């Protein structure tokens, strides 16, 4: 079976404002199977978000190849969904208009787009808030709206960039469970970027650890916990702790490297 | 009120006691004189014709100049803000034009376009354009990059990106500039009339000045202030309608 998303020897450099090149990713290899939930974990600033920008087509790689659905990425793909870390819902659109944006952009007429948007708003538990503007909602509700906005396009490839990092712990657990539920209905291939190892293990089929920048793959770990999972309870299983320990041994070194570097920058 | 009272009493005392000059009404006018000047204008019309015609002329010039200037400013601002090449090519020219004191263009417009309303409209357009242009340009540059990325992922074409993301986002900047720019439109209209016109408040001021009639100048200023305030209220209302999505700063913060 061909991989749904594949990065081959990908290197990405950015030009810093001072004019020097900054290497965010170096010789990164990553393959995500069809319908697989893959979590990418790494210390701050290791190029996790850059990986997603490359897969989505927002940024071209400096070297190497990025394949999505078997074809090299040329532009922003139609089958790609992206949930951003920051608030990305449009503040000047109501919840209904926000969720209906994707279908409207894709040329579906207003009435049908609204109907589908209503359905998705209900699925993410925002029924009754269709006419609200984002600033009138809580952070968790805005995230739900963002999820509906992305999922309504029925992406085959779902990219998520620390989507729940700004939420409080309780809301976060709730949202993680809901994400798993919604995902199990779509079976999209997911790349879920996070710095939280617990979140990664609880959600994913596979966890990829990235080294401190320039990012490259340090290790890949299978998570053989049964589905459907309950994120709140899965943490207490002995298998969970075993995997956690195994991955943490690798991750710890990278976190320390990244921490030492940030100290050096400060001092 | 205190200033008005002091002004009135100062000028009155002066009128009774010729030696006790507080404020000379010959130079500074007098509130009651201004009021009677206003009522004369309203009842009998001005030297240039009925008062409403002067106000209507000035308003027409200011509004036309305002509308054209705003549309041009938004179009150019958004275009240059979106397309790097355009801004690189045109930015030096626009900066040079902006640095020029644009009021002097009024004389040229009157020579080329004539004494009618269009020379004043042209002056108002030039004054309004730059204010709106720079705000629209900046507004486009300040659009949240995450929102642009999100719109692209959701499938937006370049045009949809402009109408759904960039314009609404720049709108708060543009609307903020409208308050200042309507003032500039009025300045353009009045200065244009001052330089040479057939009707208008600027012409009334010029006539009053020529005949040493300070009450006339103040009365015309009063009319302009009322016009500007009315426009301000209308613009604030429009702003509220157009960006009702923005959190109301007066609202009690939600917990």
- Choose the closest CB to B155 out of A87, A105, A136: A105
pLDDT at A231: 87
pTM: 0.76
- Are B24 and B76 found together in one domain? no
Out of A82, A87, A92, the one facing B168 most closely (by C-beta) is A92
| Total residue count of chain B as it appears in this document | 255
| Strand-pair partners of A66 | A7
By C-alpha distance, which of A214, A191, A157, A205 is closest to A30? A191
Q: Which of A80, A94, A135 sits opposite B153 (nearest CB)?
A: A80
Residues B140 and B50 in one domain: yes
Two tokens, residue A65: 């190849």
CA distance B244 to B255: 21
Which DSSP symbol is given to B49?
A: B
From chain A, the residues in CB contact with B246 under 8 A are 91-92, 135
Pair A147, A83: CB distance under 8 Å: yes
Among A80, A106, A133, the residue with its CB nearest the CB of B245 is: A133
Whether A93 sits inside 8 A of B171 (CB atoms) is no
* Domain identity same for B151 and B123: yes
Cβ contact B151:B91 at 8 Å: no
Q: Are B178 and B70 in contact (CB under 8 A)?
A: yes
The predicted structure's pLDDT at residue B14:
56
Query: For position A1, what pLDDT does the model report?
Result: 52
Compare CB distances from B150 to A84, A92, A134 and report the shortest one's residue.
A84
What six digits make up the tokens of A121? 């708003």
- Quote the pLDDT of residue A110: 92
How far, in Å, CA of B114 to CA of A12, rounded? 62
Does B148 share its domain with B204? yes
Mean pLDDT of B15-35: 66
Residue with tokens 């005949």: B211
Q: What is the dihedral of CA A47, A52, A57, A63, to 10 degrees?
A: 40
Question: B61 and B178 share a domain?
Answer: yes
Domain ranges within chain A, ordered by starting residue: 5-79+155-266
Residue B50 and residue B25 share a domain: no
Contact B151 A105 (CB under 8 A): yes
pLDDT in tens, B38-49: 888 877 777 777
Assess if residue B247 is contained within a domain.
Answer: no
d(CA A59, nearest CA chain B) in Å = 10
| Model confidence at B5: pLDDT above 80 | no
Average pLDDT, chain B: 82
A80 at B interface, C-beta within 8 A: yes
First to last CA, chain B: 44
* Cβ proximity of B109 and B119 under 8 Å: yes
* pLDDT value of residue A95: 93
B79 touches A: beta carbon within 8 Å: no
Distances (CA, A) of B109 to A18, B70, B123, B130, B190: 47, 19, 7, 17, 14
CATH assignment at residue B179: 1.10.3720.10
Query: Are B54 and B174 contained in the same domain?
Result: yes
Q: Which helix (H) or strand (E) holds B26?
A: helix B25-28
Beta carbons of A105 and B153 less than 8 Å apart: no
- Give domain status of residue B115, yes or no: yes
> Are B10 and B59 found together in one domain?
no
In this structure, the answer to whether residues B8 and B106 fall within a common structural domain is: no
Interface of B with A in 120-159 (CB under 8 A): 146-147, 149-157
* CA distances to A79, A260, B69, B110, B147 from A76, in Å: 9, 36, 37, 53, 15
Which residues in A lie closer than 8 A to residue B247 (C-beta atoms)? 135-136
Cβ contact B90:B27 at 8 Å: no
The closest alpha carbon to B243, from B147, B178, B193, belongs to B178
- CA–CA gap between residue A215 and residue B107 (Å, rounded): 65
Task: Determine the Cα angle at B76 with ends B120 and B247, to 5°.
Answer: 100
Q: Which residues contact B250 (CB under 8 A, 6 or more apart)?
A: none
Question: Which residues in B lie closer than 8 A to residue A92 (C-beta atoms)?
Answer: 168-169, 171, 243, 245-246
> Has residue B210 got a pLDDT over 60?
yes
B252 pLDDT above the threshold of 50: no
Question: Please, which pLDDT band fits residue B221 given cuts at 50, 70 and 90?
Answer: confident
Structural domains counted in chain B: 2
Same-domain pairing of B65 and B150:
yes
Could you tell me the mean pLDDT of each successive run of 10 residues in chain A, 267 residues long? 83 85 87 92 81 90 89 86 90 92 91 93 90 89 92 92 87 90 89 91 92 82 88 88 89 81 70
ipTM: 0.85
Could you tell me the residue range of the domain that residue B57 belongs to? 45-242
Question: pLDDT band at residue B254, thresholds of 50, 70 and 90?
Answer: very low
Same domain, B203 and B130: yes
For tokens 């290197």, what's the residue? A11
Q: Do A105 and B160 touch (CB under 8 A)?
A: yes
Packed helices B84-99 and B117-141: angle between N→C axes, nearest 10 degrees: 130
**What tens digit of pLDDT does each residue of B48-58 get?**
778 888 888 88
Q: Under a CB-based contact definition with an 8 Å cutoff, are residues A75 and B158 in contact?
A: no
Contact A91 B146 (CB under 8 A): no
Q: Is residue B249 part of a domain?
A: no
Asked if residue B253 is part of any domain, the answer here is: no
Contacts of A5 (CB under 8 A, 6+ apart): A30, A31, A32, A55, A67, A68, A157, A189, A191
| B87 plus B27 within the same structural domain | no
Most confident range (mean pLDDT) of A89-98, B6-15, B23-32 is A89-98
B21: pLDDT strictly greater than 60 = no
> Which residue in this structure is represented by tokens 């402009």?
B162
pLDDT over 70 percentage in chain B: 88
Q: Do the beta carbons of residue B149 and residue B131 sit within 8 Å? A: no
Closest chain B residue to A157 measured between Cα atoms? B153
CATH of span A5-79+155-266? 3.40.50.300
Check: CB of residue B168 under 8 Å from CB of residue B138.
no
Show Cβ contacts of residue A10 under 8 Å, excluding neighbours closer than 6 positions.
Answer: A25, A27, A28, A29, A30, A54, A61, A63, A64, A65, A66
A92 in contact with B, Cβ within 8 Å: yes
Q: Is the pLDDT of residue B19 over 80?
A: no
User: What residues does A180 pair with on adjacent strands?
Assistant: none
Strand-strand pairing, A63-68 and A71-72: antiparallel
* Cα B229 to Cα B222: distance, rounded to the nearest angstrom: 11
Q: Which among A71, A47, A44, A46 is positioned nearest to A57, based on CA atoms?
A: A71
pLDDT at B17: 58
Establish if B167 touches chain A: CB-CB under 8 angstroms. Answer: no
Q: pLDDT of B67-83, one tens digit each?
A: 999 999 999 998 888 88
DSSP β-ladder status, A157-161 and A80-83: parallel
Enumerate residues 6+ apart whose C-beta is below 8 A from B80: B86, B87, B90, B91, B94, B137
Residue tagged 């549309």 (tokens)? B71
Chain B's closest residue to A88, CA to CA, is B147
B13 within some domain: yes
Looking up tokens 């009334």, which residue turns up?
B204
CB atoms under 10 Å from CB of A175, counted, come to 20
Measured between CA atoms, how close is A133 to chain B, in angstroms? 6
Q: Is A265 on the interface with B (CB under 8 A)?
A: no
């Amino acid at each position: 079976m061909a991989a749904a998303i594949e990065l081959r020897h990908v290197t990405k450099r950015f030009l810093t404002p001072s004019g020097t090149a900054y290497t965010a990713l170096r010789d990164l290899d990553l393959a995500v199977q069809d319908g697989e939930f893959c979590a990418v974990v790494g210390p701050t600033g290791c190029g996790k978000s850059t990986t997603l920008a490359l897969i989505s087509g927002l940024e071209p790689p400096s070297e190497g190849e990025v394949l999505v659905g078997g074809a090299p990425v040329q532009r922003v793909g139609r089958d790609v969904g992206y949930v951003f870390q920051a608030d990305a819902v449009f503040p000047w659109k109501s919840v209904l208009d926000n969720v209906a944006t994707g279908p409207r952009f894709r040329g579906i007429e207003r009435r049908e787009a609204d109907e589908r948007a209503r359905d998705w708003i209900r699925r993410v538990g925002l029924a009754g808030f269709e006419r609200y503007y984002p600033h009138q909602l809580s952070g968790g509700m805005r995230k739900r709206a963002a999820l509906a906005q992305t999922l309504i396009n029925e992406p085959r490839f779902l990219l998520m960039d620390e989507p729940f990092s700004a939420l409080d712990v309780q809301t976060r657990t709730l949202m993680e469970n809901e994400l798993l539920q919604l995902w199990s209905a779509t079976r999209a291939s997911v790349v879920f970027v996070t710095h939280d190892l617990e979140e990664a293990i609880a959600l994913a089929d596979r966890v990829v650890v990235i080294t401190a920048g320039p990012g490259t793959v340090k290790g890949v770990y299978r998570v053989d916990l049964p589905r459907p999972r309950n994120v709140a309870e899965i943490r207490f299983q002995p298998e969970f702790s075993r995997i956690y320990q195994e991955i943490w041994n690798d991750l710890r070194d990278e976190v320390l490297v990244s921490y030492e570097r940030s100290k050096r920058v400060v001092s | 009120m205190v200033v008005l009272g002091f002004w009135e009493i100062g000028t009155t005392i002066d009128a009774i006691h010729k030696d006790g000059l507080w404020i000379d009404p010959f130079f500074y006018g007098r509130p009651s004189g201004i009021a009677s000047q206003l009522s004369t204008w309203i009842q009998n019309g001005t030297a240039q014709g009925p008062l409403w015609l002067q106000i209507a002329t000035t308003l027409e010039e200011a509004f036309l100049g305002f509308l054209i200037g705003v549309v041009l400013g938004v179009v150019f601002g958004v275009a240059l803000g979106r397309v790097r090449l355009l801004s690189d090519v045109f930015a030096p020219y626009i900066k040079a034009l902006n640095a020029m004191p644009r009021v002097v263009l009024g004389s040229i417009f009157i020579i080329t376009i004539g004494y009618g309303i269009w020379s004043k409209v042209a002056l108002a357009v030039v004054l309004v354009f730059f204010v709106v242009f720079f705000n629209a340009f900046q507004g486009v540059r300040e659009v949240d990059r995450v929102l642009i990325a999100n719109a692209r992922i959701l499938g937006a074409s370049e045009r949809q990106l402009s109408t759904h993301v960039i314009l609404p986002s720049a709108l708060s900047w543009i609307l903020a500039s409208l308050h200042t720019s309507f003032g500039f439109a009025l300045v353009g209209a009045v200065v244009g009339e001052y330089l040479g016109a057939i009707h208008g408040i600027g012409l009334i001021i010029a006539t009053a000045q020529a005949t040493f009639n300070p009450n006339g100048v103040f009365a015309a200023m009063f009319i302009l202030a009322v016009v500007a305030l009315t426009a301000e209220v209308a613009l604030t209302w429009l702003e509220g309608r157009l960006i009702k999505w923005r959190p109301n700063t007066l609202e009690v913060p939600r917990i």
